[in-house]
Structure 1
């Protein structure tokens, strides 16, 4: 687990990460989070709408954002390897987080984070291009990559045996055999 953050968001994130190791996520209250962080309860709502929003912020800040440049450069295997290494540094937290089920499950949070970044990347790469297949829109391609990415990460976190980040990154590459840029070139033509 990282050190206590300098910003309010980081302090709240650190607090949630500490608490989730002690008790089930469902039992953690906003009051628990703010007390652990040494903050007033209303401060939480200046930054996050609920504890699921905070959980999404943690995943995005710690895992997605550091890999964003690699994703934008179509270096997906390297991006996945980096994300996995960062998750590995806090594996106990992520193993607890993956147990969160229901409407705001951790799997949903991971899927949404990947979908959002992939959609941004695809929309920027596809500007000025004409779709060759109406089914394969930036939205549907982003959802596909998000599904594969979240599947691989969830599967790795849940694994009971030791699987290296290298093996997981290779599995990801095998599942997504065709690089994103090549698929874009095939599906879209310049207008």
Structure 2
């Protein structure tokens, strides 16, 4: 409860002022809590942003590690970011220590790893570990770039954006399966 109050206060402040002007004192005044209480839950204000992202995206995205449901995961993630667009427009611009962009990219990379591992298990194929790492890094980096574009352009249609990302990921996965001699999904 207290941790969530601190997170809510941080989110509220992020929407009203630049992050570099937000202090722990500001956060705790907004949360109506003693300043020292902050350190019972978080190391610093960047830690709050990480917790907000990890907690909320986990709630928004279920079954994110299953190969068969990855298209649904894309829609749920984009919906989460769309619903929190103004907050993430500001957060994704933070280019300091523990930048939220790095946290988001690391999370997407982990999701891709789990999805590829589940795919390999379901399809009974072996995918080179080095290549999997390469795919994780490439896809997560490109998805973060696209996410930034989506967040900063209010004219991007959520459904169209989700479809485009799904096609992109499906093309990548089908290309890998085709190269490994596996049947590919045809729409």
TM-score, normalized by length of structure 2? 0.78
Distance 1:50 1:118, change over 3 A: farther
Among candidates 115, 140, 144, match of residue 146 of structure 1: 140
Would the alpha carbon gap of residues 78 and 134 (structure 1) be closer, same or farther in structure 2, given more than 3 Å must change? Answer: closer
**1:169 matches 2:162:** yes
Cα displacement string for residues 1-56 of structure 1 (whole angstroms, at most 9, x for unaligned residues)? xxxxxx22211111011001111011111111122112222222222222112111
Q: 1:114 to 1:64 in 2, by over 3 A?
A: farther
- Report the counterpart of residue 85 of structure 1 in structure 2: 79
Partner of 2:98: 104
Give ranges in structure 2 of 5+ residues lacking alignment. Answer: 183-187
C-alpha distance in 1 between matches for 2:37 and 2:100: 24
Tell me how large the CA RMSD over aligned residues is. Answer: 3.0
Unaligned runs of 5+ residues in structure 1 are 1-6
TM-score (norm 1): 0.77
Kept after mapping to 1: 8 A contact 2:65/2:118: no
The alpha-carbon deviation at position 125 of structure 1 amounts to 5.7
2: distance between equivalents of 1:20 and 1:49?
18
Q: By how many angstroms is 1:58 displaced?
A: 1.1
Aligned residue-pair number: 181
TM-superposed CA distance for 1:133, in Å, is 3.3
Task: Point out the more displaced range, 101-110 or 45-54.
Answer: 101-110
Flag the 1:81–1:134 CA change in 2: closer, same or farther, 3 A: closer
Give the distance between the partners of 1:65 and 1:28, measured in 2 at CA. Answer: 26
Output one character per residue of 1:110-168: Cα deviation in whole Å (capped at 9) or x when no partner: 102212333344456657x774535313x333323322332221110022x41111111
- Say which of 55, 77, 80 aligns to 2:49: 55
